[in-house]
């Protein structure tokens, strides 16, 4: 990464822009989630234990599962809640000093960066929920558990979590009603106010990093402007899901101190959530922009999409402009996410963003886009016949292919019958039966084309031979030379015949008994 060009400077008479205050910036360098413990709860902007992070304590609730850093440097891993619900809660300030938006332009910004694993294919629930609220002082947790019944003024996100969005409101912002209930388990205590994604669009992928950002800003009319954004991968089929809402202060409160997550049932969310960053900022009014995360280098094949993201802080509203190869302004590229669809070789080059507001500007680092021509798939190792497989055994076919990634695989039975969920380079058939006998093949494709493998045959041995021992020693079982012979006859065709001699020297050659 290298600077794009000299940052534009805005001179504002009399008013000097304030600086954002980072209250929490935790990557679990110390390998623990339990400090600072109650009643401190948060380092609140001061690295008191000098470990390089600004920490807040996390509490685990729910009937099962774990929440622990994966060693020093994290990530903080939540997993194992199965068919139940997990509850992961942190207080990002001490109880006596919540973030309070006292003046116009004051903003709270919460950033959560995570990577899921074991994401389900599709479901119709809103079982992935999170909240940014103010917890009453007598309702704070002091040890592991779920938040108790209280008012909790603030805002929440109720989300559909699958590889495809299959709920009519997959990314829904809600405001807390003046109801004393549990924090996130009681959906009736929340009122829907805004949507930010479309049913049928792409959702979340295992192994892909996502960044959730919620900002709450006090405006000039003393209302609260709330914006929630999720970026990463191809979420919402564009790489971004976002919504916004402006209202009177929720519950009459301008204060916030709590972030809570509630994933329910791994079959409707994911098996693992790895958090690599949790960050909380208080941004006073009249704050110039600053870049938190720069856009990253991308590689793409011709015809694919490329997505760049920039994460910036500063007094709202923030304006974004993207540039190509230093000084070519991209028309209509005015958001924090830049999506280039159906890229071509001519799109290769550098991309960067300038973020501005009324108090200044900030320029991101340059990100390089490399576009290459895809190479059609080529099979280098064909699937092999599997013969005389016994009923109940396992048969495995595999193929090795080259070409531009990603390579997609689809296996077929008897040339034209598509095998459901057979989409890997290896096809495993367990508990083989006669009905499985036949021809197997695979088609490999990518953006550049497709190729079909040769056919491989699976044959099932329906009449395996069991050896029958006819015994040894009687004169009738001796050969013509008086040697003791053990004959083993097959019970059916395909069996075996062997000769057992009393000594190696007596082994006959070239003559049956």
Q: Which of 109, 137, 100, 95 is nearest to 254 (CA)?
A: 100
More confident residue, 292 or 273: 273
CATH code assigned at 435: 2.60.40.10
**What distance in Å separates the CA atoms of residue 174 and residue 156, rounded to the nearest whole number?**
5
Q: Is the domain of 346 the same as that of 279?
A: no
Q: What is the mean pLDDT of residues 400-421?
A: 95
Contact 485, 499 (CB under 8 A): yes
Confidence at residue 467, expressed as pLDDT on a 0 to 100 scale:
57
Give residues with Cβ within 8 angstroms of 336, minimum separation 6. 229, 231, 240, 309, 310, 311, 312, 318, 320, 353
Backbone angles phi, psi at 475, to 5 degrees: -55, -30
pLDDT tens digit string along 224-254? 999 999 999 999 999 999 999 998 887 678 9
Q: Quickly state the pLDDT bin for 373 (edges 50, 70, 90).
A: very high
Q: Is the domain of 110 the same as that of 65?
A: yes
Confidence at residue 315, expressed as pLDDT on a 0 to 100 scale:
86
Lowest mean pLDDT of 42-46, 168-172, 338-342, 481-485, name the range.
481-485
Q: Is the domain of 76 the same as that of 151?
A: yes
Q: What is the pTM of this model?
A: 0.66
Q: What is the mean pLDDT of residues 45-72?
A: 95
Q: Is residue 267 part of a domain?
A: yes
Q: Is the domain of 171 the same as that of 154?
A: yes
The total number of structural domains in the chain stands at 4
Confidence at residue 252, expressed as pLDDT on a 0 to 100 scale:
75
Q: Is residue 305 part of a domain?
A: no
Q: Which of 335, 350, 372 is the last residue of a domain?
A: 372
Q: Is residue 298 part of a domain?
A: no
Q: Is residue 383 part of a domain?
A: yes
Residue 499 belongs to domain spanning: 467-506
CATH code assigned at 186: 2.60.120.200
Q: Is the domain of 39 the same as that of 68?
A: yes
Backbone angles phi, psi at 237, to 5 degrees: 60, 15
Q: Is the domain of 392 the same as that of 433?
A: yes
Indicate whether 485 pLDDT > 70: no
Confidence at residue 502, expressed as pLDDT on a 0 to 100 scale:
34
3-state secondary structure 257-268: CEEEEEEECCCC
Q: What is the mean pLDDT of residues 413-421?
A: 94
Q: Which of 339, 292, 341 is nearest to 312 (CA)?
A: 292
Q: Is residue 158 part of a domain?
A: yes
pLDDT tens digit string along 92-147? 999 999 999 998 889 999 999 999 999 999 999 999 999 999 999 999 999 999 99
Backbone angles phi, psi at 203, to 5 degrees: -105, -120
Q: What is the mean pLDDT of residues 253-270?
A: 96
> With pLDDT > 90 as the criterion, what percentage of the chain qualifies?
78
**What distance in Å separates the CA atoms of residue 299 and residue 286, rounded to the nearest whole number?**
38
Q: Is residue 425 part of a domain?
A: yes
Mean residue pLDDT of the chain comes to: 88
Q: Is the domain of 8 the same as that of 126?
A: no
Q: Is residue 120 part of a domain?
A: yes
Confidence at residue 477, expressed as pLDDT on a 0 to 100 scale:
46
Q: Quickly state the pLDDT bin for 180 (edges 50, 70, 90).
A: confident
Q: What is the mean pLDDT of residues 376-399?
A: 96
Q: Is the domain of 342 the same as that of 256?
A: no
Q: Is the domain of 94 the same as that of 2?
A: no
**What distance in Å separates the CA atoms of residue 29 and residue 168, rounded to the nearest whole number?**
40
């Amino acid at each position: 990464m290298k600077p794009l060009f000299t940052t534009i400077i805005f001179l504002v008479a009399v008013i000097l822009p304030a600086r954002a205050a980072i209250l929490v910036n935790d990557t679990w360098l110390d390998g623990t989630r339990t400090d600072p413990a109650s009643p401190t709860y948060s380092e609140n902007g001061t690295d008191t234990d000098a470990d390089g992070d600004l920490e807040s304590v996390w509490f685990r609730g729910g009937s099962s599962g774990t929440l622990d850093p994966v060693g020093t440097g994290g990530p903080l891993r939540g997993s194992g809640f199965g068919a139940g619900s997990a509850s992961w809660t942190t207080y990002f300030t001490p109880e006596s000093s919540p973030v309070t938006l006292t003046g116009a332009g004051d903003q709270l910004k919460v950033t959560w960066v995570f990577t899921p694993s074991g994401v389900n294919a599709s479901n119709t629930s809103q079982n992935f929920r999170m909240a940014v609220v103010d917890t009453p002082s007598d309702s704070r947790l002091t040890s592991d558990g779920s938040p108790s019944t209280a008012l909790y003024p603030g805002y929440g996100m109720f989300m559909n979590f699958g590889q495809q969005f299959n709920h009519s409101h997959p990314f829904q912002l809600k405001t807390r009603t003046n109801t004393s209930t549990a924090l996130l388990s009681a959906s009736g205590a929340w009122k829907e106010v805004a949507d930010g994604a479309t049913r049928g669009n792409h959702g979340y992928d295992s192994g892909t990093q996502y960044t959730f950002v919620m900002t709450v800003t006090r405006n000039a009319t003393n209302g609260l402007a709330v914006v929630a954004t999720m970026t990463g991968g191809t979420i919402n089929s564009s790489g971004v899901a976002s919504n916004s809402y402006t209202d009177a202060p929720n519950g009459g409160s301008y204060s916030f101190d709590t972030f809570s997550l509630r994933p329910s049932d791994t079959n409707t969310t994911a098996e693992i959530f790895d958090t690599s960053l949790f960050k909380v900022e208080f941004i006073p009014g009249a704050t110039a922009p600053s870049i938190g995360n720069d856009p990253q280098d991308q590689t793409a094949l011709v015809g694919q999409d490329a997505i760049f993201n920039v994460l910036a802080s500063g007094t709202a509203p923030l304006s974004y402009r993207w540039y190509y190869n230093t000084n070519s302004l991209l028309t209509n590229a005015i958001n924090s996410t830049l999506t280039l669809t159906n890229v071509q070789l001519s799109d290769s080059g550098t991309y960067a963003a300038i973020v501005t507001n009324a108090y200044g500007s900030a320029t991101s680092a340059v990100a390089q886009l490399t576009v290459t021509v895809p190479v059609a798939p080529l099979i280098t190792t064909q699937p092999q016949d599997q013969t005389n497989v016994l009923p109940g055994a396992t048969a495995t076919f595999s193929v090795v292919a080259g070409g531009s990634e990603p390579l997609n695989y689809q296996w077929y039975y008897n040339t034209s019958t598509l095998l459901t969920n057979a989409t890997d380079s290896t096809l495993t058939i367990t508990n083989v039966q006669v009905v499985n006998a036949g021809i197997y093949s695979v088609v490999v494709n990518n953006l550049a084309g497709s190729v079909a493998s040769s056919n491989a045959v699976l044959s099932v041995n329906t009449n395996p031979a069991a050896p029958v021992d006819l015994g040894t020693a009687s004169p009738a079982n001796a050969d013509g030379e008086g040697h003791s012979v053990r004959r083993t006859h097959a019970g059916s065709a395909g069996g075996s015949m062997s000769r057992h001699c009393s000594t190696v020297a007596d082994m006959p050659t070239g003559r049956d008994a």
